[in-house]
Amino acid sequence: MVHNSHMIAAMKTISWPVFTKLIRLCGADQTLTPTYWSSIPMVSLEEGIRCQHVGQAPFYHIKPIWPMPAAGTYPGLAPILLSEYGKDMIIPSGGGMLGHPDGYTAGAQAWQQAIAAAMAGVPIADYARKPENKALRRALEKWGYLERPSTPWLRVAPKFHPKPFKMEG
């Protein structure tokens, strides 16, 4: 497991996807992956997703690396993380489990319920309203949840969408 905190000093000189490829070449099985949605957003949305792609894409005989979108993740992020990273990832739940208002066990249950909601395609707030999902409801009351903007392009704002143009000549 590679913890990327040692690479923060080089952020201005080398990109995170390059770090991910180097980590993979060195034989790591998993690495903390920067994500735009964390409490420490060190990367753009696209760069975070590229890290996951670099780690999972076919690369000669080199095995894929497990992404771990990290730093301040909590159950309300489960739908976004699963939509961007897929089901083949590790969620280092940390404070999003240990900081649950009803204790560690409820924190683990909240993550399980959030993941179940995302895998079933049910909006997380609707899933949390069910009486049996009290742990998730309490987690959402503490940390909330995000809804990633839906766009036909992987850009959050329309100003970044491609614009038509005419080529002269």
Q: What does the alpha-carbon distance between residue 11 and residue 27 come to, in Å, rounded to a whole number? A: 21
Structural domain contains residue 125 = no
Q: What is the pLDDT of residue 115?
A: 95
Structural domain contains residue 42 = yes
User: Tens digits of per-residue pLDDT, 45-61?
Assistant: 888 888 888 888 999 99
Q: What does the alpha-carbon distance between residue 159 and residue 156 come to, in Å, rounded to a whole number? A: 9
Structural domain contains residue 151 = no
Its domain, for residue 39, covers 1-71
User: Tens digits of per-residue pLDDT, 45-101?
Assistant: 888 888 888 888 999 999 999 888 877 889 998 998 888 888 888 888 888 889 999
Please state the domain count of the chain: 1
Structural domain contains residue 102 = no
CB-CB contact of 14 with 43 (8 Å): no
Structural domain contains residue 94 = no
Structural domain contains residue 34 = yes
User: Tens digits of per-residue pLDDT, 10-28?
Assistant: 667 778 888 889 889 999 8
Question: Tokens for 109?
Answer: 């249950």
Question: pTM score, two decimals?
Answer: 0.78
Name the residue type at position 52: Q
Name the residue type at position 11: M
Q: What is the pLDDT of residue 127?
A: 96
